[in-house]
Structure 1
Amino acid sequence: MKLSTKGRYGLKAMFQLSILYGDGPIPLKLIAEKQNIPDQYLEQLVAALRKEGYVKSVRGAQGGYMLALPPEKITVGDIIRTLEGPVAPSECVIDDDTSVCTRKDCCVTRVVWEKIRDSINNVVDSITLQDMLNDYNSLANKDDYNIF
């Protein structure tokens, strides 16, 4: 299973917003520049995140985007599912949709896919943007680590 650029770039953008949380609206161009994300692509990602209530926008000369919730209230899972859809290694275990598989009652591999799906969801739902900030601050204190 591999995330597309939607999920990877979206998480990077949300992380950038969490770094600047409380500083007011941040221009999209700055986020794109800091995270090396194409401006137009970032606009699409932020629109989806705004629609789900994770980002809010402010119009005008001093406008931009900011987190709609504190970093500790937004999980990696929230971001990934907003941009990528359900997290699952196989179609047959997306949202426990049992209608996809006619062999669901006797399929051993389905049990494996369910365990993988549940494990991934547990991990991404246990990591908040605040956790990422804490990790960033720990890494930033190391002399040989250079981020942003």
Structure 2
Amino acid sequence: MLQLTRKTDYALVALADLARRKLDEAGPTSARTIAEAYSMPLPLLMNILKELAQAKLVTSTRGASGGYQIAVEPSRVSMLEVINAIEGPVKLSPCCDQLPIADQGCGREDLCPIHQGINRVHRRIIDFFGQVMLNELIDEQVVTTPLSTSAKS
């Protein structure tokens, strides 16, 4: 079964929260604030935010008024970028990684009756995730609700 991992799910939620904060001009926020708002384990979220920062999707600032901010407009962040940042490249099956590394893949590509078909599906999945932008995933009600109102709920 294809399923996003919990890490990717948390990354998308954190990015959506940071996007809302940017829209509200709220400034940087701490990992703790995000973790508490969405009942996420803080150590895991801190690792996720570090990976998102390495991918240049968020920025972090140290200090008392520091924290995390989204670095890219939500309409320019694809699901594929988030998945790649958190999970590494999408790979539908061993023969789909396209890496010319010895002992990678299944080794039966020449004989496999589904090799070409699986690669076509793989490319479609990659294309699809590349076309889905973060802003499309964010619930409009959540984005348009000011932080002060949503925090009271």
TM-score tier, shorter chain, comes to 0.7 to 0.9
Report the counterpart of residue 72 of structure 2 in structure 1. Answer: 69
Cα offsets for 1:76-104 (capped at 9, x unmatched): 1100111111112211111x235534322
Counterparts of 1:77 and 1:18 in 2: how far apart (Å)? 17
Counterpart code for 1:29: R
Counterparts of 1:60 and 1:24 in 2: how far apart (Å)? 13
CA contact (8 A) 1:93 1:117 kept: yes
Counterparts of 2:81 and 2:47 in 1: how far apart (Å)? 17
Q: Which runs of 5+ in 1 are unaligned?
A: none
- Superposition deviation, residue 3 in structure 1: 2.2
Report the TM-score when normalising by structure 2.
Answer: 0.80
Establish whether residue 46 from structure 1 lines up as the match of residue 49 from structure 2. Answer: yes
Counterparts of 2:130 and 2:26 in 1: how far apart (Å)? 26
Cα offsets for 1:28-73 (capped at 9, x unmatched): 1121122221111000011111011111011111111001111112
Task: Give the superposed CA RMSD.
Answer: 2.3
Report the counterpart of residue 8 of structure 1 in structure 2. Answer: 9
Counterparts of 2:54 and 2:143 in 1: how far apart (Å)? 32
Counterparts of 2:142 and 2:71 in 1: how far apart (Å)? 26
CA contact (8 A) 2:20 2:143 kept: no
Report the counterpart of residue 131 of structure 1 in structure 2. Answer: 136
Q: Which runs of 5+ in 2 are unaligned?
A: 145-149
Report the TM-score when normalising by structure 1.
Answer: 0.82
Count of residue correspondences: 140
% identical aligned pairs: 26
